Structure 1
């Protein structure tokens, strides 16, 4: 008897649209299309010279190749805590309220396993980053999808969640500045969120991977800056986007010590931590960001790209909302020239096939993403302007 060598869980791990888009891209390239890939949010710039030198110097040390330890080096954890104090005014015990990660996705993918039992409920955003729901599938946890609506500036209506869901939920996960929705939240919202969650004993999990990529003078706050937040919240931070270290795989979870400790305990049984040289590079990045001679934040580059690209799209006939943060544009689809509407998949497939420009259909991020596409600002300005020109031709066609 033939037994399937494939878990049923794999079908629950996320939208297959990402694999489909990769196939579309290969087909378009095979037809000779010049591909401009605005699909994946991977920074196109390297880390600073100081970060690269720290990585290089550490990699040459003979003592750096032992198991690094799941907790992360004391040096990295102390520096991460110092940066949280410098950037957000948050005081953390680096031994008990912070754990290093192989990027925030590492922690996001394992958190439900460490906090929940099969059958528990977790509240996640719709649309939302795919690992949010995929992690719940791995843990056997039931998602409650919390709609993020354009008319509410993509902030959730917390009172719309049924009381029974609040009572059953272990944690609620939100993401500001957001991916795919480039929305922001202020401390007043976080205060309301924490108060609501505390009423039902629900942990608040905040994904702050894009905290250093905001525009127009906005400085995204940390939820941990709310007084008393350490009693009921944790927050993910990543060096991938803010410091152009996506391939290094380093980030951390900070906040409530019981939740941080649970994730640390799970990871002690899974891996041996982040390579020591990468942690040294992380220390250098955070130190440099705190120095008097700190380089411009990543948001400065993406703000320039946003302004040029959005203006070029508008000139081509597609007016989109300017994002307030992140490296993404969450773009509401225009009407076809005949007045009819595209689905997000139709638009993305046709755009790629006809122009070579890659964007991600909004449906990849949940049902509330239909009618939108996500566009990543991960090419230089000249290529973005060329992409906007091609998109304009497609929209007008």
Structure 2
């Protein structure tokens, strides 16, 4: 039975109990409950409730989002829940015309999708739980000449209650230089970011989809160290490029001193902290050793704010490549059978595998995902008393 506005002012349950009940409900139900009365509608849209609901959803119903390469399906998204049930995610009709799409970021229940087949760079912001999607305006720069779009990323910062898309242009005319643009959900517009590239000597602003933790995006990028001698080959090292979403600031982080990056390695998240895999192949690809390093905040012996520690080292009697962490499972695949997905438990060393041939021919990206009420715009809403 639908309550009137007057009924909502005198609830039959204490307000705190009502609040706790609503937090437990799925997004689909909360969307319907917004029609109960105006007060419920406004409350369900508040920043504090959206964040509390997301925290609960992340802890109680964590999902693994998988995108598979498939020439017949531009997105080809699938979800895996904590009961190991597997289901397909249907994209909204607004993206039906896309011929080639890639998820470049997932944060706070929102997906940033890039149309890789468009003449001009094109993005969509999509909340699969609410089924709301919005096409992002085109970036500022629409110049001439050969343009290479390097780093891409999307993340959300609860500090400023804003999500941002970051892109880097490499413009080739007589010389090559970079240009950074940032799109803000709260303003609905792009801005060029002033950055002193001489503060990042040798850094290649090029990276795959970043990981986002605590309001910061992270990419693994190359940095060229010039030897100074024309006869010597310049050294290329891997560093971590970070972007503070609230402050619009880039910084560089070094890898763990004892990390053996080996033939494979990738950034990931572990308990909402930045982490990195070190993947070493043993023998003629008969087995693997996977080390997991986690970055922690604090002052170490070197007086640095951040320090790395090795949390896990796992040996396998088969060769797999790690892609990320979900719950306590390392998401992995066998390179010569990319349709087989392995979940390797970091505590027990036990593994499960899934034949995913019906999904696609190879795994593209993976993200930790939780249902969220976060809108794709109009983020700044006052919190009414409940």
Could you say which structure has the higher strand fraction? Answer: 2
Normalised by the length of structure 1, the TM-score is 0.25
Flag the structure with larger Rg.
Answer: 2
Question: Which structure dedicates a bigger proportion of its chain to helix?
Answer: 1
> Normalising by the residue count of structure 2, what TM-score does the alignment of the two structures yield?
0.26
